[in-house]
Structures are given as C-alpha cells and as structure tokens.
C-alpha cells in the first residue's frame, strides 16, 4: 500500500473565511494523503472544518494556502472522478428519483439508452426500484440518502466524498446503509473520504480514522484500523472494536488544550 502514489493529497491546506473585519481560520495547515482504494473516515467536533475540507477536495472551495491534489493534479474545480454526497441530501426536489440519478449522466453527455440502464442499475443497487418515479418529497430520510448515493455512483467516480451522509438517520437505517456501503466498496474499491461525527461509525467503516480538532481546524490524531478485519456484527461487538472506539473517543472528546481555545474564544468576544 505504501508503494502506491497518493490518490488524494492534501498539502498544508489552510482556509480562512472573512468574518466581518476579522478572519476565521477554518483549516490550519492540514496535510493528509489517502491511498487508492482506501476508506478514510474523518471525525471531529462540530465546526472543526470537516465540510470545508471536503468542499476543497470537491473543488467547490479554494484553499487560502497550500494545495489539494487528486491523482497528482491540483484540484481546480469539480470533476467527474469525484462523487460528492452532501451533508444535506441535496436532491433536486422537482426531479424524480430516476431523473435525479440521471442528472450527472445527462450533463456528461451519456446517450439516453445507456443513461436509462445505468440509472436503473444504481437505483436497484440502493433498493429504490419501486420508487424510481417518485419525487423526493414522498421519500423518507433513508430513501433520500440512498437516492443521493445512487446519483453519485451513477457517474462512476473513482473517489467518493461523503459528508455525514447518514447523520440524519435513525440507528437502524444507519447500520444498514453502512453495511451496504461497505459491500459496494469491497466490490468496486473506490477511494472514500467519509466524514462523520459518530465515533462508532468512524471506526466501523475505516481503514484509517482521522480525528480533527477545532479552532483552528487541524488534524489531531490518526488511528489505523486493520483493513483485514471483516466488518460485520461480530466486529462491532468485539473487544478490538471497543478498544479502537475508546481511542477515537478519547481523541475526539478529550482533546488536549480543548479548554484553552474555548477560553481564548470567549476572551476575544
């Protein structure tokens, strides 16, 4: 794995936002490499810049300093090799499930017949075939999320950027979608950057868990998870899982100097 070049490379990325007269540092000198076929999860407190990092990789934001590379080339904008699943489902509410899934295929000029069959395939993959012609408003949260996943998959990206995709779902649906995601990932081995604020989810899915800290947003800790472990219920209930979970939990919720920035924050305001 070490011999492979990085699929995604984030090099000293800093992102500041103008906040009135001040600037706010959302990301401070973040560096990280993700190998081809790797499943990386990012976990951290709210406001630590997870979404900002993903937007930079998606090409929706530009870094203030540093650079983001995909396949060795700097990210200059969105690209079809990077599929994005947003924190909010971001389905087009005026389009049916099928039309949503076909959206990316239309913009990339896939001919109609192929569009149809590819959309059909991914709608089936996420189990929405009975709802192919339904509008998003008639779908439950979990179904909307599956539709968003199908829409991203349909363009066949080699990289999936997922921003808390299961955040708004109940525990049961969530576990199901996690397992389904891992099943498809183990077949097609895309490179996945998966953002979450759920420690269990981060550990269960990842080859590597990246823990971020806030104010300023930075990489705080990196925890490896043996990719050879089979991700199933047994793993979820195993002592290894509990140990990893403990480590990540401590990293997220007992970050050193965590009180210091908060105090500094209240002093400035």
Partner 1 sequence: MSVLEKRGAEPSGQTPPAPDDAGTTNATKTAAEPSRPGRRGLPLILNAVSVVLGIALWWAAAAAGFKLPTPPEVVSRAGTLIADGTLGEDVLASLTRVLIGFGLGTAVAVPVGFLMGWYGIARGLMEPWIQFFRTVPPLAIIPLAVVVMGIDETPKIFVIFLAAFLACVISTFQGVVNVDRTLINAARVLGARDAVIFARVVVPASTPFILVGMRVGLGSAWATLVAAELIAAQEGLGYRMQNAQLYYDLPTIFVGLISIGILGLLMDRILLLAERKLTGWQERR
Site for Mg ion in 14-53 (CB under 5 A): 51
108 touches, from ligand ATP, partner 1, Mg ion, none (C-beta below 5 to 8 Å by class): partner 1
Q: Which of 16, 62, 116, 125 binds partner 1 (CB under 8 A)?
A: 125
86 is an interface residue for partner 1 by CB under 8 A: yes
The footprint of ligand ATP on residues 199-238 (CB under 6 A) is 217
| Torsion, Cα of 100, 53, 82, 88 (10° steps) | -10
Query: Binding to partner 1 (CB under 8 A): which residues in 127-156?
Result: 127, 131, 133-143, 151, 155
Out of 2, 3, 46, 187, point to the residue binding ligand ATP (CB under 6 A).
Answer: 46
Which partner in ligand ATP, Mg ion, partner 1, none is near 236 (CB below 5 to 8 A by kind)? none
User: Least distance (Å) from partner 1 to the CB of residue 121?
Assistant: 13
Contact status: 104 vs partner 1 (CB under 8 A) = yes
Interface segment toward partner 1; rule CB under 8 A; list 6-14, 40-48, 79-87, 218-226: 79-87
Distance between CA atoms of residues 128 and 148, nearest Å: 11
- Give the burial string for 114-143 (b: 16+ CB within 10 Å, else e): ebeebbbebbebbebeebbeebbeebeebb
Cis geometry, peptide bond prior to residue 216 (ω within 30 degrees of 0): yes
First to last CA, the chain: 47
**Binder of ligand ATP out of 48, 75, 85, 199 (CB under 6 A):** 48
Question: Can residue 253 be called a binding residue for ligand ATP (CB under 6 A)?
Answer: no
Nearest-angstrom CA–CA distance, 191 and 101: 21
Reported in sequence order, the residue ranges of the chain that DSSP labels E, i.e. its strands, are 6-19, 22-35, 39-43, 65-70, 73-74, 82-85, 159-163, 191-196, 208-213, 218-224
182 binds, among Mg ion, ligand ATP, partner 1, none (CB under 5 to 8 A by kind): none
Residue 47 found at the interface with ligand ATP (CB under 6 A)? yes
Give the C-alpha separation, 258 to 267, whole Å.
15
Spell out the residues 6+ positions from residue 55 whose beta carbon is closer than 8 angstroms to its own: 61
Give the length of the chain. Answer: 269
CA dihedral 176, 179, 185, 191 (to 10 degrees): 90
The stretch near ligand ATP (CB under 6 A) out of 3-11, 46-54, 90-98, 202-210 is 46-54
Q: What are the residues binding ligand ATP (CB under 6 A)?
A: 17, 24, 26, 46-52, 87, 197, 217
Q: What are the residues binding partner 1 (CB under 8 A)?
A: 55, 58-60, 77-78, 80, 82-84, 86, 88, 90-95, 103-104, 107-108, 125-127, 131, 133-143, 151, 155, 170, 172-173, 176, 180
């Amino acid at each position: 794995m070490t011999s492979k070049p990085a699929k995604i490379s984030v090099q000293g990325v800093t992102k500041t936002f103008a906040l009135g007269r001040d600037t706010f540092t959302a990301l401070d000198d973040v560096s990280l490499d993700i190998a081809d076929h790797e499943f990386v999860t990012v976990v951290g407190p709210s406001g630590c810049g997870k979404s900002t990092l993903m937007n930079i990789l998606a090409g929706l934001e530009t870094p203030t300093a540093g650079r983001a590379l995909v396949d060795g080339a700097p990210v200059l904008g969105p690209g079809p090799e990077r599929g994005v699943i947003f924190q909010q489902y971001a389905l087009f509410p005026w389009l049916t499930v099928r039309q949503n899934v076909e959206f990316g295929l239309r913009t990339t000029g896939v001919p109609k017949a192929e569009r149809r069959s590819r959309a059909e395939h991914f709608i089936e993959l996420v189990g929405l075939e009975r709802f192919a012609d339904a509008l998003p408003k008639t779908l439950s949260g979990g179904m909307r999320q599956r539709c968003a996943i199908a829409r991203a998959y349909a363009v066949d990206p080699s990289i999936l950027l997922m921003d808390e995709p299961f955040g708004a779902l109940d525990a049961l649906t969530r576990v199901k979608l996690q397992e389904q995601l891992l099943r498809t990932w183990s077949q097609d081995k895309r490179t996945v950057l998966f953002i979450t604020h759920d420690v269990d989810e981060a550990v269960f899915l990842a080859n590597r868990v990246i823990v971020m800290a806030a104010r300023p947003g930075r990489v705080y800790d990196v925890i490896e998870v043996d990719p050879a472990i089979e991700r199933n219920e047994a793993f979820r209930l195993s002592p290894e899982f509990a140990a990893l979970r403990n480590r990540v939990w401590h990293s997220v919720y007992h970050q050193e100097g965590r009180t210091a920035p908060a105090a500094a924050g209240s002093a400035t305001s």
